[in-house]
C-alpha cells in the first residue's frame, strides 16, 4: 500500500470517527436537556459529560435509566464534575479493558469567567511491553507533546499530565492578557499574534512596529521594525530612538505585565516620555 493510500485510509477513518462522535454528541445533548430541567442555572455546565459521572459512581446506565434519573442524582453528578474540573486533570478508562486510558484537561478562562472546551489525550498500552503511547489527542500542535511524552509518559504519568496542562494554562493566560490589552488600545495601536502567542506584534499607528518574542511566561526579546521615516523626521531621530528604546525596555518583562500597554496608550495618560506616540 502506498503512502497516499495510507493517508486516504486515515482520512476515511477520521470521517467515520467524526460521524460516530457527532451522533454520540447529539444523543448526549438530548439527554442533557432532560437533566437540565429544574436544575438552577448557576450549577449547569456547558460541557457536562455523563461519561465521567457514570465511571466514578457506578456502571453506565441505559438511556431510559438516565432520563429517569432523579433530580437529586443530577445535582450530585454536576457537583462531582465541578470538583474534577477544578483539579484540571482527570484520567478515565476509555474501554472495559486496560489498554486505553483517557486524560482530560480543563482550563479556566479568567477573562470569560468560564472553562474552555476540554482537551483530551487517549493513551494506548502496548500488550507486550506495557508501555504507553499517544493514540489520539486534541492537544494543539504547538504544545511540545511528543517531547514531554518521550521524557515522562512511561516514567511518571502524573508529571506528564501536569506538564501538558502547564503549557495549556500558560497559553490560555497569554491569550486572555493579549486580547484584553488589544481591546484597550483604542485604535492608537494594534496587536497581532500567532496561535501559541510566542510572537506578538505591536503596531503603533503610522509610527513603528515592535516584535515581542515570548516563551511560556516572559517576553524574552523585543525587536523594532517598520519604523516610519515620516515619524522620525517629525519628532527627531534622537527622540524617536529614545521612545523605541524605552518601549523595548518596558515590554521586556513577564507577559502578565503587558497590561501596561493599555495604560500607556490611554489618551488621558500624561507621561511625557510617550506623549509623541499619541500626537
Q: What is the pLDDT of residues 263-273, one digit of tens each?
A: 777 666 655 54
**In this structure, is residue 33 part of a structural domain?**
yes
Tell me which residue range forms the domain holding 63: 1-87
Query: Cα torsion for 195, 197, 203, 208, to the nearest 10°?
Result: -120
**In this structure, is residue 129 part of a structural domain?**
no
Cα 17 to Cα 22: distance, rounded to the nearest angstrom:
9
Total domains, the chain: 2
* Residues 77-111 pLDDT 10s: 665 666 666 668 988 888 767 789 999 999 988 88
What pLDDT score does 60 carry?
A: 47
- Domain limit, last residue, from 71, 87, 103: 87
**In this structure, is residue 222 part of a structural domain?**
yes
- Domain limit, last residue, from 58, 87, 116: 87
**In this structure, is residue 14 part of a structural domain?**
yes
Q: Is 22 helix (H, G, I), strand (E, B) or coil?
A: helix
Counting as low any pLDDT under 50, the low residues of the chain are 40-60, 273, 275
What pLDDT score does 56 carry?
A: 37
For residues 134 and 120, the answer to whether their CB atoms sit within 8 Å is no
Mean pLDDT of the chain: 79
- Domain limit, last residue, from 87, 114, 144: 87
What pLDDT score does 12 carry?
A: 73
In the numeric block, the cell 494543539 is attached to 140
127-130 LR contacts (CB < 8 Å, sep 24+)? 127/99
In the numeric block, which cell numbers belong to residue 25? 454528541
What pLDDT score does 238 carry?
A: 92
For residues 205 and 187, the answer to whether their CB atoms sit within 8 Å is yes
Query: Cα torsion for 28, 31, 33, 37, to the nearest 10°?
Result: -150
> What pTM does this model have?
0.67
**In this structure, is residue 193 part of a structural domain?**
yes
- Helix crossing, 3-36 with 50-57: angle to 10°? 80
What pLDDT score does 93 carry?
A: 86
**In this structure, is residue 138 part of a structural domain?**
no
For residues 60 and 53, the answer to whether their CB atoms sit within 8 Å is no
**In this structure, is residue 16 part of a structural domain?**
yes
Q: Is 106 helix (H, G, I), strand (E, B) or coil?
A: coil
What pLDDT score does 71 carry?
A: 62
**In this structure, is residue 161 part of a structural domain?**
no
Q: In degrees, to the nearest 5, what angle opens at C-alpha 140 toward C-alphas 92 and 87? A: 40
Amino acid at each position: 500500500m502506498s503512502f497516499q493510500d495510507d493517508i486516504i485510509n486515515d482520512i476515511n477513518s477520521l470521517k467515520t470517527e467524526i460521524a460516530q462522535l457527532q451522533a454520540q454528541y447529539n444523543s448526549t445533548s438530548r439527554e442533557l436537556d432532560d437533566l437540565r430541567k429544574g436544575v438552577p442555572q448557576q450549577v449547569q455546565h456547558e460541557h457536562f459529560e455523563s461519561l465521567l459521572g457514570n465511571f466514578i459512581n457506578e456502571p453506565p446506565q441505559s438511556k431510559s435509566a438516565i432520563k429517569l434519573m432523579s433530580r437529586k442524582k443530577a445535582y450530585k453528578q454536576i457537583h462531582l464534575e465541578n470538583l474534577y474540573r477544578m483539579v484540571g486533570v482527570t484520567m478515565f478508562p476509555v474501554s472495559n479493558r486496560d489498554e486505553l486510558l483517557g486524560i482530560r484537561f480543563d482550563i479556566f478562562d479568567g477573562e470569560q469567567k468560564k472553562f474552555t472546551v476540554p482537551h483530551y489525550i487517549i493513551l494506548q498500552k502496548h500488550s507486550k511491553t506495557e508501555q504507553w503511547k499517544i493514540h489520539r489527542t486534541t492537544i494543539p500542535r504547538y504544545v511540545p507533546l511528543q517531547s514531554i511524552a518521550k521524557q515522562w509518559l512511561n516514567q511518571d504519568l502524573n508529571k506528564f499530565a501536569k506538564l501538558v496542562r502547564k503549557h495549556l494554562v500558560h497559553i490560555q493566560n497569554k491569550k486572555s492578557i493579549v486580547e484584553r490589552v488589544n481591546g484597550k488600545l483604542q485604535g492608537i495601536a494594534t496587536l497581532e499574534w500567532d496561535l501559541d502567542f510566542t510572537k506578538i506584534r505591536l503596531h503603533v499607528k503610522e509610527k513603528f512596529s515592535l516584535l515581542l518574542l515570548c516563551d511560556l511566561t516572559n517576553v524574552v526579546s523585543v525587536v523594532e521594525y517598520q519604523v516610519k521615516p515620516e515619524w522620525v523626521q517629525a519628532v527627531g531621530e534622537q527622540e524617536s530612538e529614545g521612545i523605541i528604546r524605552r518601549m523595548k525596555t518596558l515590554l521586556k518583562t513577564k507577559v502578565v505585565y503587558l497590561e501596561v500597554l493599555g495604560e500607556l496608550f490611554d489618551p488621558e495618560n500624561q507621561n511625557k516620555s510617550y506623549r509623541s506616540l499619541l500626537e
